[in-house]
Amino acid sequence: MRIRGIRVAAAFVAVLLFTNLLSFTSKNNRYSESYPAVVCAPNQAGQSSVIALASPKTPVRKTGISTMVFKDSRTRRFAGTAQATVIDAQAATPIAWQVRTGVWAGGLTCLAPVTSQWFVGATADVTSKGSLTIVNSGLGKALVGVTVYTEAGIQAEQFFSIKANSFSALSLGSLAPGAKSLAIHVSPQTGRVNAFVTDERGRGLQALGGDNVNSQESSSKSLVIPAIPQQTGKKSSLPHTLRILIPGEVGAPINVEIASTDGTFAPAGIDGKVIPAGKVVDLPLNVIMPSGKFALKITSERPFVASVFTKTNSLNKSDFLWSTPTPALEKGSYSVTGLAPFLVLSGGEIAVDLELTSVAGKKQKISLRGSGISTYQLSERIRTTTITKVSPATFGALLLTSKSGFGYAPLVAGSVLTRTSIPRSNIRVLIP
């Protein structure tokens, strides 16, 4: 009995000493915090782009060259090239504006590499001149899986190898020949990967417009598309189309709600519609309201991905735009120098505070309040828009326009602060 007592006491002391050691170690851990660099899409032949930056001292580099050294941008409006641009933007997310002069324009939110990207938009039929561009900004070779869904169903996953610090552009027609409606899932297996989809269309020598399709990270049972432009012509509104995919094996009905300055309502013919699994479905979205902006909230029993296609008209020139879902808005900064975007917020009760910083360095505080939807026109003299306070379940995006067309950029943090433990040794552990 006495021996047993001694063993119990010894075990108790050992546990106490080990606990103290863990406590000491945890209290003395050191961490390194950083924002991963973001990537902006390369230009294709005949395209040009400008990337809004917070400072002319923002470090940038390009893919496709031997050096991977960052250099100061020397400007707040950095011109994109035929190579992808890698930007050490820290907490200020860059917004890019890509143009085929006189034909179409599109917005992009530059993002750090992620492990999953869904692109709901574009076509691979005879009018398609679009592409999927896969960028590997890392030091080693990347292996990337690409799964294409069409109106006919899912195709077999394809794998592509991308060399270090380079990119590969794939025509949409080669990925799914003849398909009318596309949804593309890009899932990197290795490497530092970003993907971009351009939906450009033409018939012979006639241009039919184009746009960039911004990605969404994952499917969800509830999605909000916060900014959809509404243009009213002489006789009717320019049309919208809801594109939706349930990537699982079981379909489900959807519930759809429109939020606008005219109130909240369910669009006729869509709410309650049953969506089959594994097939891309396009649904006409009939919106009868004056010119302006509106938001779309979609829910379902099954996870899905979605977007809205909108016909637009700029200076009597036909174009189109893809509006995509965003995650709930968080505090953060966005670089918008020279873009003069229209900020659109959507939510039940909107309460968002902004700090606007001009090119000259002057700061202005703005408070946006509303129900359903709230908008604000930013000046081209604003270089950064910082969200300092945001209400729960609020979503946001930017609508942009120029002589070449309309564009859309979701308000999602390009890069999230990461925390890495710094390796350290404890001499007391190595030498008892």
What fold does the segment set 38-218+324-416 form as a domain? Hypothetical Protein Tm1070; Chain: A (2.60.290)
**Alpha-carbon distance 44 to 37, whole Å?**
22
Whole-Å CA distances, 116 to 126, 184, 195, 216, 327 = 29, 11, 10, 8, 14
Give yes or no on whether 38-218+324-416 and 221-309 have one common fold. Answer: yes
Dist CA 184 CA 146 (whole Å): 7
- Confidence at residue 23, expressed as pLDDT on a 0 to 100 scale: 47
- What is the bridge-based pairing of β-strands 131-136 and 117-120? unpaired
pLDDT tens digit sequence for 144-195: 999 999 999 999 999 999 999 999 999 999 999 999 999 999 999 999 999 9
Query: Tell me, what's the pLDDT at 233?
Result: 65
User: What pLDDT is attached to residue 212?
Assistant: 98
| Tokens read off for 321 | 């735009």
pLDDT at 8: 47
Q: Which residues of 310-341 are buried (b: 16+ CB within 10 A; e: fewer)?
A: bbbebeeeebbbbbbbbbebeebbbbbbebbb
pLDDT of residue 213: 98
Question: What's the CATH number for 221-309?
Answer: 2.60.290.11
pLDDT at 11: 53
**3-state SS, residue 165:** coil
pLDDT at 237: 72
Residues 6+ apart with CB under 8 A from 277: 246, 247, 248, 249, 250, 251, 302
225/230 Cα distance (integer angstroms):
14
Q: What is the pLDDT, as a whole number, of residue 432?
A: 46
Domain locations in the chain as residue ranges: 2-33+422-430, 38-218+324-416, 221-309
Residues 98 and 332: their CA atoms lie apart, in Å, by 23
Say what the pTM is.
0.89
pLDDT reported for residue 28: 57
- How far from 96 is each of 79, 170, 336, CA to CA, in Å? 9, 21, 8
**What pLDDT digit, counting tens, does each position of 71-84 carry?**
999 999 999 999 99
Using 50 as the pLDDT threshold, list the residues of the chain that sit under it: 1, 8, 13, 15-19, 21-26, 427-432
